[in-house]
Amino acid sequence: MLPRTMTAISITRAGGPEVLRSDTRPVPLPEAGQVLIRVAFAGINRRDCEQRRGFRPPEGSDIPGLEVAGEVVATGAGVRRWKPGDRVCAKLGAASAINYREQDFVAGVQRATDGHGADVIIDIVGVGYARRNLEALATDGRGR
């Protein structure tokens, strides 16, 4: 049974960290093709910080944390890949995710892009993946 409410951190207006507020909100129900994740960890990235500072409009939510890890607790109609109880990591808004420990990420990029390859690769690890990143890159793509 899902709880009716959840605690969320929201961006109340443009500004520094002081504009973040803890709120109680209704738990959303997943729509067709969506999953509901009980978030254990959320990553705040540059996109979130730019939104908080007022440099970018919110993309559908005033709740920062585009990157999350947790457990699937409900699924919407048509979801077949995930089920309640599955532990997941997600970058919200991403069309595809590849677990490099379980599958070849170059092959995964090729599948996800219909053979085109990635237009941009941002790698914070570096040298250990440089060759494989180049293999996953599209013609005229760029790495960072």
Q: Mind listing the pLDDT tens digit for each residue in 33-66?
A: 999 999 999 888 888 888 999 988 777 789 998 8
Q: What is the CATH number of domain 1-94?
A: 3.90.180.10
Tens of pLDDT, residue by residue over 2-25, are: 999 999 999 999 999 999 999 999
- Looking at residue 79, what is its pLDDT? 92
Q: Does pLDDT of 71 surpass 90?
A: yes
Report how far apart, in Å, the C-alpha atoms of 84 and of each of 4, 70, 72, 88 are: 17, 11, 5, 10
CB atoms within 10 A of CB 33: 10
DSSP helix/strand/coil, 130 = helix
- Looking at residue 105, what is its pLDDT? 84
> Cα separation of 53 and 48, whole Å?
9
Tell me whether residue 1 is exposed, middle or buried, using C-beta atoms within 10 angstroms of its C-beta: 0 to 12, 13 to 18, 19 or more: exposed
Tens of pLDDT, residue by residue over 77-132, are: 999 988 999 998 887 766 677 777 788 889 988 988 889 888 777 666 667 778 88
Asked if 77 and 43 touch (Cβ cutoff 8 Å), the reply is: no
CATH 3.90.180.10 maps onto the chain at: 1-94
Q: Does pLDDT of 143 surpass 80?
A: no
- Looking at residue 92, what is its pLDDT? 72
**What is the torsional sign of CA 63, 66, 72, 74?**
positive
- Looking at residue 128, what is its pLDDT? 75
Asked if 34 and 22 touch (Cβ cutoff 8 Å), the reply is: no
